[in-house]
Amino acid sequence: MSPRRGLDLNVIIAAAAEITDTVGVEEVTLASLASRLGVRSPSLYNHVDGLPALKSHLTTHGLNQLSEAIKTAAIKKQGIESILSIADAYLLFARNHPGLYEMTLRAPTEEQPEQMRLGSEIVETLVIALSSYMLPEEQAVHAVRGLRSILHGFASIERSGGFGMAIGVDTSITFVIDRFLRGLAT
């Protein structure tokens, strides 16, 4: 069977990402995707090797978008300005792409080298952003984990509707990151 004109892996991933972000990754099936694209499910196999492969492509897509967002946010900034810019980009990605964001949280395996590369790229961007604190390598890893935990905590609680007080979440994240960075400086 020949591939449908106009249908390629990028179109499929974009449609799957849309489903993921609007109704959740659990709702991404080959049937729902085929319906959205106006094709029959078997047509998708010309471009992707089943649902697990599709979800792997989605994870790679999400990691790539998150990595690009935080790298762009960090450009030409240092110290707290860089970290706050990264935090804004991270939280914006989580808000705008909740399904893809969820998929970026899983640690990749050796069988997913592109995801491993992108995950390492994200960590490296954070290490560079934290470099003005001159932490030894192991402490830098702890700091990156701490920062990611802060950001993920905010993203998760916000997504669940857990921030109901009148004080803005953006003010809170700035406060928490400032205190976190002050701790790194001592």
Distance from C-alpha of 64 to C-alpha of 146, rounded to nearest angstrom: 22
Would 113 be classed as within a structural domain?
yes
- Here the CATH number for the domain that contains residue 15 is 1.10.10.60
Does 100 share its domain with 140? yes
Would 53 be classed as within a structural domain?
no
Distance from C-alpha of 135 to C-alpha of 53, rounded to nearest angstrom: 39
The number of beta carbons lying within 10 Å of the beta carbon of residue 30 is 19
Would 17 be classed as within a structural domain?
yes
User: What is the per-residue burial (b if ≥16 Cβ within 10 Å, else e) of 38-56?
Assistant: eeeeebbeebbeeeeebbb
Does 122 share its domain with 162? yes
- pLDDT for res 44: 93
Residue 77 burial (10 A CB sphere; 0-12, 13-18, 19+):
middle
Structural domains counted in the chain: 2
- pLDDT for res 4: 52
- What would the mean pLDDT of 51-80 be, rounded to a whole number? 94
Does 159 share its domain with 98? yes
Does 73 share its domain with 162? yes
Using DSSP, how many helices (H) and how many strands (E) does the chain show?
Answer: 9, 0
Does 33 share its domain with 122? no
Does 23 share its domain with 92? no
Distance from C-alpha of 143 to C-alpha of 82, rounded to nearest angstrom: 15
Would 177 be classed as within a structural domain?
yes
pLDDT at 3 over 60: no
Does 43 share its domain with 75? no
pLDDT at 186 over 50: yes
Would 57 be classed as within a structural domain?
no
pLDDT at 83 over 90: yes
Does 74 share its domain with 97? yes
Cβ(37)–Cβ(8) under 8 Å? no
Does 34 share its domain with 94? no
Residues 6+ apart with CB under 8 A from 69: 89, 90, 92, 93
Distance from C-alpha of 150 to C-alpha of 29, rounded to nearest angstrom: 32
Note down the domain range covering 12. Answer: 1-48
Does 109 share its domain with 180? yes
SS (H, E, C) 129-154: HCHHHCCCHHHHHHHHHHHHHHHHHH
Does 44 share its domain with 101? no
Residue 106: pLDDT band with limits 50, 70, 90? confident
- pLDDT for res 1: 43
Would 40 be classed as within a structural domain?
yes
- Here the CATH number for the domain that contains residue 103 is 1.10.357.10
Residue 124: pLDDT band with limits 50, 70, 90? very high
Does 43 share its domain with 77? no
92's tokens: 């914006």
pLDDT at 36 over 90: yes
Residue 5: pLDDT band with limits 50, 70, 90? low
What pLDDT, in 10s, does the model give residues 19-35?
999 999 999 999 999 99
